[in-house]
Each structure stands twice: as structure tokens, then as C-alpha cells.
Structure 1
């Protein structure tokens, strides 16, 4: 077994772990800082809306020897408007000019072909009206709203309303960060961007649902035991699915990175940049939020319930009683360096009946038997002298 696989198996069994829930205030602070930065960037710089949303003309030229800077200067000089020029993989240029009507676009097409020394008949011209972009934006907002409502309803039915609320907050977190990155980087917002934003919603929920499912299974009958609090069980659920979340995220990011850095950057993919950037940022933010935001929020919501508060008091009382009996110098050998109780925490005595057995708790009975003192009943009521 590989080293990563060995670590994943130990995380799943609860032999090692990291205290994600215990450090949730740190993760909340980091997320708030990133979110505020994204909102400030969006308010100051705004979004670079594409021609599809503002209206204008898009001219695509055949292969030319002119550079992007030269083409930009020529297009702005001939049209009198700001131009956005992208070099295509074929060597041609894609020129976007906002605010052009049909007559003006024809004039710009002919003069641009003359300056670039290309055939005017080979210059493709597309006119986009602002009303079309407005329809696209309205449909995107409608689709986003419907998706959010359906997600909340499904998660509330499949899990519970606290998990649905935490997942919704994580989704808003991911979308805000992605839009903020678009604003700070200055990438153009096109229909491809909208497609990418809608796509990352599903990816963002994937890891979250995986952790929630593990948490639901581990926390069944949680109030009938006194070995773990709800937060500790939630932390074990994150650790048991951590390697799986990392693997799926890395595998998903690799082809998206290829689109972004090779397809868009090297080959001049145009719309590939718009889709790939939203997917890349959204996938990374979704993996982060499922571990550091969604599950800690569920633990916070659940720990406020009277039943979970009573459970936490019983767990602390039992551990204090065990420490007083065994001595404060004895430390749970199964606890990891971060102080998270291991699967054998409190197992110096026979577990309470009805205690759930989260991942890794199967070795408790064996360890408890090894810790029991040897029996002396064999020599009791036996006469002194040689044994017969």
C-alpha cells in the first residue's frame, strides 16, 4: 500500500487525525477575510462584462502578421471605441468593439482588413444586441435561484435542515470567491463564465455531501453514548473522508488546469479561459468549504441543541471520572498529537451499552482486554505446597 493510502486508512480508522472542528474559528476568519477581499474587489473594479452582455460587434480575422497591440490600436482608431483583442490559435485576431451598429461595423470591417492586409471577405462579423445579453443574465439568475431552492429542499429531506443551511452558506461562499477572483484578475465575463459558475455548484456540493453522509452514519444514536461529543464525531467524519476529498479534487482540477493554462494561455482558446477560470477557482473553493466551512457550521448548529449540550456535559463528566480513577498522569495512548481522542479514548473500562461505533472503534475491545489486570483467581482456595 502506498504511503498516501496508508495515511488514508489510518484516518478512516480514526488512528490519526487533525482537529478541524476545534480550529473552526481560524477557518471562519480566513474565509471572512477572503470573502471581504472578493466583495471589495467587486465593488471597486467591477466585472469586465463581455460583448454578449453589452452589445456591439465581434470581428474575427484570418491569420495576420500584426500583433495584438497593433490590432488594438488600429481597431480603436477606426471605430472610436475601446476594443478588446485576442489572438487565436490559428494566428487570427478576435476583435470585440462595443457600441457599434450595422453600418459602422461594416465600415470598421473594411478599414481593419485593409490595415491588417487581409481579405475583407474572410473577416467574419457578428453583431450582438444588449437585449440578448440581458436575457442571458436573467436566465442565469433564475437558474441559480431554482438550483439553490432545490438543493436546500433535497438536503433538508435527505439529511436535516442544519446541513442544508450549512451547504447553502458554503455555496454562497464559493460563488462570492469565484466572482471576486474574476473581478480582481479582470477576465471577461461571457456566457462561458455563466456556464462555469453554474457547473461549479454541483462540484461544490459533491465533497460536502460525502462528509455529511459520513457524519449522518456516525452520529446515529449519538445521545445514547458518553464517549464522544457531536463535534468530535464530526471531526472524525472529516478525517475519514479527507483523502477521498483531496483525491477527487486533484483529479478534477488537473484537466481544468489544462484548459486554463494550456488551452487558454498557450493556444489562445478565448472562451476556454472564461470557463476554465471559473471551474478552477470554484473547484478549489468547493473543496475548501466542504472541509473548513460546511461541516464546522453543522457542528456549531448541533452543539447549540439542549440534547447535545447535555451530551457534552456527560462526556466531560465521564472523562473526569476516568482521570480521577486512573490518575492525571495517564494519557490516552490512542489520542493523536493534536489532542483528538482516538478510537480507544475512555476504553480502559467496558464501553457502555448502546454506544455507537464510529470508524476505527472496532479495536476498542481488544485494547480493553489487553489493559485488564491478570486474574488471580487461579490460586484462590488452593492449599499451599506442591501442586498436584
Structure 2
């Protein structure tokens, strides 16, 4: 059924590319200059109460406001100075005298550096995986594994773009964690394929396909149990965890599902396709002895 799963993954990838090209990502202040004010409240405050209070602060640009249960997040695309910080605290304290504040400000240079380091961390981890898998197995395994990893990471990025979810540093941590779990599952399946190759005789492509199916079947329950166990932890973090790890947990939940999917339905069939082309090349260019 590899053709069906190829079409399914390509369709999701194309949809994700369209959304990324048209809508981009909703970056937090970690990746663009500005100030993020997280307020814990003793009671709920409505937008009708909050907006007039913030207008009197003398801040020229409009904030992005997110209300939660006894919590409000206020994000400015420009940095607030100390006087503006104190004025904002005073305005909200008039609405709730028990409010507590956490203010994070990132300047332009720091935002650029954080974004640059995030990209480097993902690229370096992928390069390390390619080198490791190439040494332990062969380059076809490495190529199939990295395609599956990029697929998993991109699906998470696409979902965050489609639903305009905030991308911050915890999102990058989630992506790197997803890459780790995904390559772990993929390596287990590849190791079983290599073992079966060692003790079997594959004369035709059909023999090789049967071997891959056998290897996936032998490791299937292990892959599902591993993914499901971590999924349970990530799901309850999402449902019961605090706001600060909400996006991390959501990215983990999505990534774990697609990580298990890609290890079984993308990585192994892709290696089989590359191996089939190798056999065809050998047949068309036989070595003379």
C-alpha cells in the first residue's frame, strides 16, 4: 500500500507548503522583537475592560491579546521600556489588585540570533543523523530516514501555520524531540531489515518486498507501543499542563503520531524503492569477469 501513503503524505506536504507560502508562521517574541506580558489573575477580565485600560498607556501600537481562565497574555511587536512596563502593570492592577506579571522583552538582534540558532540546531541534528545512519547501515537507509524525519517535522510546522499557533523556543525543542523519537523507531525497523537481509536470499524484487513487509510486521507492535506510551504522557501534558508548555505538548502529540506513521509507511517503503533501483541498475550494467 506504499503508493497510497506516498500520495497521502505528498498531499499534506503540498497543502502545508501553500499555507506556509501564503500565511507564514505565527512567531512569538522569541523570534521577533517585542514584549510579551503574561498576567496571572485572581478573577476573569473581559476584553471590554482591558482594551480601554491599555489605550491610556501612551503606547502607539496595538497589542495582540489572548484571554484564558484567570490569565491574559499581551504581546507587543515592539519593545516596551521600563516606564511603559510599570504603566501597564498599574493599569491591570486597577482591574485586579492581586494580578502577578511575567514580562519578557526580546530586542531585534537577540530575536535574529535565536531564530538563526534554532535553524542551525535542526540542520545540525539532521546532518548528524545522516552521518550516523550512513555509517551504521548504508546511504539508502540514511536517505530514507532523513526524508521521514523532514516529513514529520514539516507536518508539525504546517499544522502550526494552518491554525495560526504560536511558534516559540519550546516549539523548536518539541521538533528536536520528535526527530529523536522518529529516528529511534526508524532505526529499529531498519535494523530488523538488515538482519533479515543477512540471513535471507533475495533474488527478485518481490522477495525483497516480502522481506520488508516481514520486518515491519515483526517490529510493528514495538513501534506502536513506544509511540503510544509517549503519546499518553504528551496528551496529558497537553490537557492538564500549564499554558507555558501547551504548544510544546501539542507539537509532541502531532509529531508522535506522524513519527510512528512515517517510520512504518514512509521510511521502509522508500528504502525498498531505492533498493529496487539499485537492482535495476546492476542488471542493466552487469560487471564483466
Tell whether the structures are fold-level matches, with TM greater than 0.5.
Answer: yes
Provide the secondary structure at the position in 2 that maps to 1:182: helix
The whole-number CA distance in structure 2 between the counterparts of 1:217 and 1:54 is 49
Aligned length in residues: 279
- 2:42–2:98 Cα contact (<8 Å) kept: no
- 2:54–2:91 Cα contact (<8 Å) kept: no
2:221 to 230, 243, 254: 243
Distance 1:36 1:76, change over 3 A: farther
The whole-number CA distance in structure 2 between the counterparts of 1:180 and 1:71 is 35
Mind listing any 5+ residue stretches in structure 2 that lack a counterpart? 284-289
Distance 1:163 1:118, change over 3 A: same
Provide the secondary structure at the position in 1 that maps to 2:198: coil
The aligned residue for residue 207 of structure 2 is 229
2:84 to 100, 104, 118: 104
After TM superposition, the structure 1 stretch with the greater mean CA deviation from structure 2, 292-301 or 56-65, is: 56-65
Provide the secondary structure at the position in 2 that maps to 1:241: helix
2:248 to 271, 275, 282: 275
- 2:41–2:98 Cα contact (<8 Å) kept: no
The aligned residue for residue 124 of structure 2 is 146
The aligned residue for residue 68 of structure 2 is 87
Higher helix proportion: 2
Q: TM-score, normalised by structure 2?
A: 0.87
The whole-number CA distance in structure 2 between the counterparts of 1:227 and 1:38 is 34
Bigger CA radius of gyration: 1
Distance 1:233 1:72, change over 3 A: farther
The aligned residue for residue 236 of structure 2 is 258
Deviation at 1:61, TM superposition (A): 3.4
The aligned residue for residue 43 of structure 1 is 21
The whole-number CA distance in structure 2 between the counterparts of 1:141 and 1:75 is 39
The aligned residue for residue 161 of structure 1 is 139
The whole-number CA distance in structure 2 between the counterparts of 1:129 and 1:257 is 34
Q: TM-score, normalised by structure 1?
A: 0.66
The whole-number CA distance in structure 1 between the counterparts of 2:103 and 2:49 is 16
Deviation at 1:124, TM superposition (A): 4.3
Distance 1:97 1:70, change over 3 A: farther
Distance 1:68 1:277, change over 3 A: farther
- 1:230–1:299 Cα contact (<8 Å) kept: yes
| Aligned-residue CA RMSD (Å) | 2.5
Distance 1:159 1:71, change over 3 A: farther
The whole-number CA distance in structure 2 between the counterparts of 1:112 and 1:133 is 27
Distance 1:68 1:229, change over 3 A: farther
The aligned residue for residue 118 of structure 1 is 97
- 2:29–2:105 Cα contact (<8 Å) kept: no
The whole-number CA distance in structure 2 between the counterparts of 1:260 and 1:224 is 46
- 1:76–1:83 Cα contact (<8 Å) kept: no
Matched, 1:129 2:107: yes
The whole-number CA distance in structure 1 between the counterparts of 2:205 and 2:31 is 58
